[in-house]
A and B are shown apart, each in its own frame.
Chain A
Amino acid sequence: MRILIAGCNGQVGFELQRSLAVLGEVVPMDRHRCDLANPESIRAALRANRPDVVVNAAAYTAVDKAEQERELALRINGEGPGVLAEEADALGALLVHYSSDYVFDGLQRTPYSERDRTNPISVYGESKLEGERAVREATGGRKLILRTSWVYGVHGNNFLKTMLRLMRERDTLRVVGDQVGAPTGAALIADVTAHVLSRYAAVHGTERAKHFPYGTYHLAARGETTWYDYAGLIGRLARDAGVRLAVQPERIQRITTEDYPLPARRPVFSRLDTSKLRDTFGLALPPWEDGVRHAVQVLLT
C-alpha cells in the first residue's frame, strides 16, 4: 500500500514514518509539500501521489496561541482535513485523522466514550471538532478518526521535554494538579495506527474493505494521572538516570488551574474510554507510565 503522511515532521508524524514503513511505501510530506492551510497544496499532493491511505498528522497545536489566531487554527485543523478527506475519497483511499480530547468540555466524571456529547471550551478544541465534522461530511465512509490526549514524543515540543528542562534549570516548579488525563506517547499512537492499518491492508482492494470498522475511536494510554503527578514521575525517572535536578520531584508544588491562568481553557477531566478501540482491534494499551519511562530514557541518552 502507498501511505501518505501529512505532517511527517511533527511529534506523531515522525513516529509514523518509522511505524508504517513495514506496511508498504511511505510518502512523507511536511508543510512544504502539503500545507494544511492551503487547499490547493493538499489537492496537488494527493493527486500527484495517489496514495491508498492518507494519514493526517499535521495540525495547528499551539493551544493558547489559537485563542488569538482563530482563523488560522480553523483553516489548518478544520478546513484542511475536510479537503484531505474529499481528495482521499476521490481516490478511494482511507483517511486516518487524529483528533483530540479537547473536543470535550471535561465536565464528565467517567471516561468519555465516542458517543458522548462534544462541547469544546477552547478555540483549539473547536478547530479540532470542526475538522472531525469536515472529515465525516466529506467522505463516503472510509475514514478513521482517532481521538487522543496529552500527546508527548521524543521529537518536537511537549510537556515532558519542558519538565525535563525546567527541573534542571529552575529551583522551584509549580505544576497544575487538578486536571486528570492519560499522557499518550506519539510512539504508541504511531504503533496503534500501524496495527490498525495492517488489518486494513488485509482487506484493501477487496470486497471486505466495505465492512472494515471505520469510524471514531478513542486512543490513549491506560490509567490516569494529573500534570503534577506526571511531572513527579518525569523527575524521578530523570534523577534515577543520574541527571542532576535543580528542583527535586518531591519539592514540586501542586497548584490549581486557577493559580495558573492561560489564554485557553483546558478540560478538567480528560479520560478517554478506549474499550471500543481495544475490543474492535484486539489491542492492549499499556499503562501511561511505560511510554513516559521509555521517552525519558531516549531523551536522556
Chain B
Amino acid sequence: MLNNLKIWLHQGKQFIPDVTTAKVPGRFRGRPVISKVSIDETELADLCPTHAISTNPVSIDLGKCTFCGECAFAFPDKIKFTTDYKLATNERSRLIIEEGKEEGIELDPALLRKEISQYFSGSLKLRQVSAGGDNSCELELNACGNVNFDMGRFGIEFVASPRHADGIVITGPITENMAQPLQLCYDAIPEPKIIILAGTDAISGGIFEGSPALNRSFLSRYTIDLYVPGNPIHPLTFINGVLELINKRK
C-alpha cells in the first residue's frame, strides 16, 4: 500500500491541463496550408496515394488524406503541414483545404442539431465500432481516456453497450463483413443519437476506397454529426472535435 502511494506521488499530475490549447511535440502533421506558388499540378495530384489532391485550384481533401506528407516533401514551397490538430468538423466539404486558405477548421453552427447541446453538453456516452479499422484509431481512441488526455473530465466516455450510449464512433472503412453488426449496434442506441466518423478510413475508405470487400451503404442512410480526420486520429483532434460538437450553440 505504501509503495503504491509512493508511486502515486512520484507520478504527480500527468494530465494535459488544457486540451484546447496544448501544443503537440515534434513535427506533427496537422492541417495543411497550400500556397499559391505555381507548380506542376498534375504531378502533384498524381503523387497522392488516395487521390486526395485536386487541381485548379489545388486542394487537399482531409477526408481522404492519409497524412503521409509525401506531397510536402515533393513540393515544399506549395504544401506545408502545420501542427494544428483541430481538424474535426460537421460538414464534409469543410475538410477540403483550398490553396491560399489559412484559417482553421471549425464546425458549421447552422448544421448543429439543437438536441445535441441540449442533451449531451454535460455528459456524452459513446459506443465504438471498429468496422475494418486497423487498430490505430482504436489505440488513439483508447488513449483519449488515459491519464494524459483524460477525456472523462468532460463527461465524455466510451461505454460497453449501445443501450447505454448516446452515439456511435465508427473507425475503419466499413467492411462487408461488419456492415450488419454495425447496423444492429446503431439500431440498439436510443434516440436522439449521434454518429462520429473517426479517421480517414471511416470518412472516405482511405487507401481501401473502392475495395470490393467494403460495404459503406450505412453511411448513405444517416446524417454524420462529426468527421474526425487522421491516420490515425490524434487524441487532441478527437477531443476538441467532440467538445465543439456538444458545446457549440446555433
A and B together in one complex: no
- Residues of A participating in the B interface, judged by any CB pair closer than 8 Å: none
- Residues of B participating in the A interface, judged by any CB pair closer than 8 Å: none
